[in-house]
Amino acid sequence: MAEDTKTEVSAGEVAPRPSPRSLRGLDWFTFFVADVQTGFGPFISVYLTGQKWTQTDIGIVLAAGSFASLLGQVPGGAIVDAVRSERFAAAVALVSIALSALAYAVLPFFPLVFTASVAHSLASCVLGPAIVAISVGLVGHKGISERLGRNARFASLGNGIAAAAMGACAYFFSTRVIFLVTFVLLMPALISLYTISKDEIDPDRAHGMSQRQKPEHTRQGDLRRMLKNRPLIIFAICATLFHFANAAMLPLMGSILTMRASSTAPALIAACIVLPQLEVALLSPTVGRYAERWGRRPLLLIGFAALPLRGLLFASAPPPFLLVAVQLLDGVSAAVLGVLVPLVIVDLTRETGRLNLAQGIIGAAVGIGATLSTAFAGYITDHDGSRVAFAALAAIAGGGLLMVATLMPETRP
Q: What are 285-304's pLDDT values in tens digits? A: 999 999 999 999 999 999 99
Q: Which residues lie closer than 8 Å to 326 by C-beta, 6 or more apart?
A: 310, 313, 314, 318
CB-CB contact of 268 with 326 (8 Å): no
Answer yes or no: is pLDDT of 148 > 90: yes
Residue 64 belongs to some domain of the structure: yes
Q: Which range has the worst mean pLDDT, 40-44, 126-130, 372-376?
A: 40-44
DSSP 210: -
Q: What number is the average pLDDT over the span 136-146?
A: 89
Among residues 390, 402, 385, 389, which one has the least CA distance to residue 241?
402
Residues 159 and 234 in one domain: no
Q: Domain range for residue 328?
A: 225-406
Return the higher-pLDDT residue of 219 and 190.
Answer: 190
Quick one: pLDDT band at residue 112, thresholds 50, 70, 90? very high
Instruction: Return the pLDDT at 58.
Output: 82
Q: What number is the average pLDDT over the span 349-371?
A: 87
Residues 114 and 238 in one domain: no
Answer yes or no: is pLDDT of 257 > 90: no
Rg value, the chain, Cα = 21
Instruction: Return the pLDDT at 5.
Output: 44
Instruction: Return the pLDDT at 211.
Output: 54
CB-CB contact of 179 with 47 (8 Å): yes
What phi and psi, each to the nearest 5 degrees, are found at residue 411? -110, -5
Instruction: Return the pLDDT at 53.
Output: 84
Give residue-wise pLDDT tens across range 26-75. 999 999 998 888 777 767 877 887 888 887 888 888 888 888 988 999 89
The secondary element (H helix, E strand) that includes residue 15 is: strand 13-16
Alpha helices in 15-54, H assignment, sequence order: 20-38, 43-50
Residue 1 belongs to some domain of the structure: no
SS3 assignment, position 408:
coil
SS3 assignment, position 41:
coil
Please give the full DSSP string across 170-193, using - where no structure is assigned.
HHHT-HHHHHHHHHHTHHHHHHHH
Q: Tell me which of 203, 233, 266 is where a domain ends.
A: 203
Residue 3 belongs to some domain of the structure: no
Mean pLDDT of the chain: 85
Rounded to two decimals, the pTM is: 0.84
CB-CB contact of 400 with 300 (8 Å): no
Answer yes or no: is pLDDT of 213 > 60: no
Residue 219's CB: how many other CB atoms inside 10 A?
12
Q: Tell me the CATH number at 112.
A: 1.20.1250.20
Residue 371's CB: how many other CB atoms inside 10 A?
18
Q: What number is the average pLDDT over the span 109-131?
A: 92
Residue type, 378: G
Give residue-wise pLDDT tens across range 267-285. 777 778 788 888 999 999 9
CB-CB contact of 237 with 399 (8 Å): no
Instruction: Return the pLDDT at 217.
Output: 46
CB-CB contact of 397 with 311 (8 Å): yes
412-to-196, 212, 299, 332, 356 alpha-carbon distances in Å:
27, 21, 12, 21, 18
Residue 208 belongs to some domain of the structure: no
SS3 breakdown of the chain: % helix, strand, coil, rounded to 5?
80, 0, 15
Residues 242 and 379 in one domain: yes
Residue 27's CB: how many other CB atoms inside 10 A?
20
Residue 216 belongs to some domain of the structure: no
